[in-house]
């Protein structure tokens, strides 16, 4: 059993079952009895998935920590698309593209949180580079609370080339940068859009920044000069979501 194929936590495991993703077996805490777990077990039974009732120390040993919420799944490996899959995804859209690009986010908790916010905001695709960036792991799946199973995720070999290709598809690129003159709230984010965020600490790489059509900052009112990348992603995504909702209700 490879640890890369483990998914744990109620939301991530339920997402696997809801999406009918490949699940080989479940380990469930033998002393947890509540409505959420009953719903999960009923779904597993419906799908014919084997369930083992085990003690907490067994779950702790399987996951390496105690943050499993009483359920662990052995699932199929997380699948990331490539450039060709991304092209197919964008070509199939019937509404303005809404994309999140993460330029070198390496912390799995941050990637998971970004995926969770992206899914909640209605993003069509999340794009990351293959090198020097976090991949989908059990930690990411847990932090994403099921979003990894429902959000198209693409790893590309050359991020700058992919950014140029997005522009060729008439998708505007808005990069977040603390030194930008315009604020996020100054820009029109209602059309085809890719929000581009940089890595923890270092921010956007020079080449990625140069490919953006616009740079914007999140205005800060206090003494803190920057936000965690997953928090910044949430702010930016939901400002775009707010603007897009205004357009759709007119």
41-50 core/surface letters (b: 16 or more CB in 10 A; e: else): bebbeeeebe
Looking at residue 160, what is its pLDDT? 96
Whether 25 and 143 share a structural domain: no
Looking at residue 210, what is its pLDDT? 95
DSSP 3-state of 130: coil
What does the alpha-carbon distance between residue 60 and residue 70 come to, in Å, rounded to a whole number?
A: 9
Number of domains observed in the structure of the chain: 2
Residue with tokens 């603007």: 243
Whether 129 and 238 share a structural domain: yes
Measured in whole angstroms, how far is the alpha carbon of residue 68 from the centre of its chain?
19
Whether 92 and 49 share a structural domain: no
Could you tell me the residue range of the domain that residue 124 belongs to? Answer: 83-249
Identify the domain boundary among 55, 75, 95: 75
Whether 87 and 68 share a structural domain: no
Provide the whole-model pTM: 0.76
Q: What is the mean pLDDT of each run of 10 residues along the chain (250 residues)?
A: 71 77 86 88 91 91 82 80 91 92 94 94 95 88 81 93 96 94 95 94 90 94 83 96 77
Looking at residue 90, what is its pLDDT? 92
């Amino acid at each position: 059993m490879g640890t890369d194929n483990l998914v744990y936590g109620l939301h991530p495991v339920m997402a696997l079952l809801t999406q009918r993703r490949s699940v080989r077996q479940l380990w469930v805490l033998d002393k947890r009895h509540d409505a959420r777990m009953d719903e999960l077990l009923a779904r597993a039974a419906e799908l014919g998935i084997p369930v083992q009732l085990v003690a907490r120390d067994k779950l702790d040993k399987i996951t390496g920590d105690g943050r499993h919420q009483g359920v662990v799944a052995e699932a199929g490996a997380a699948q990331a698309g490539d450039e060709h899959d991304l092209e197919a995804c964008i070509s199939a859209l019937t509404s303005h593209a809404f994309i999140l690009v993460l330029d070198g986010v390496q912390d799995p908790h941050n990637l998971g949180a970004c995926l969770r916010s992206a899914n909640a905001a209605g993003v069509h695709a999340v794009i990351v580079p293959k090198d020097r960036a976090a991949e989908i792991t059990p930690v990411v799946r847990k932090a994403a609370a099921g979003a990894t199973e429902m959000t198209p995720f693409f790893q590309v070999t050359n991020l700058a080339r992919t950014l140029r290709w997005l522009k060729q598809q008439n998708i505007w690129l808005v990069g977040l940068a603390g030194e930008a003159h315009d604020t996020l709230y100054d820009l029109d984010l209602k059309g085809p859009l890719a929000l581009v965020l940089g890595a923890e600490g270092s921010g956007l790489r020079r080449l990625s920044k140069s490919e953006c059509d616009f740079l914007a900052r999140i205005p800060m009112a206090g003494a803190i000069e920057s936000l965690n990348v997953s928090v910044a992603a949430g702010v930016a995504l939901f400002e775009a979501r707010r603007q897009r909702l205004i357009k759709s209700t007119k």
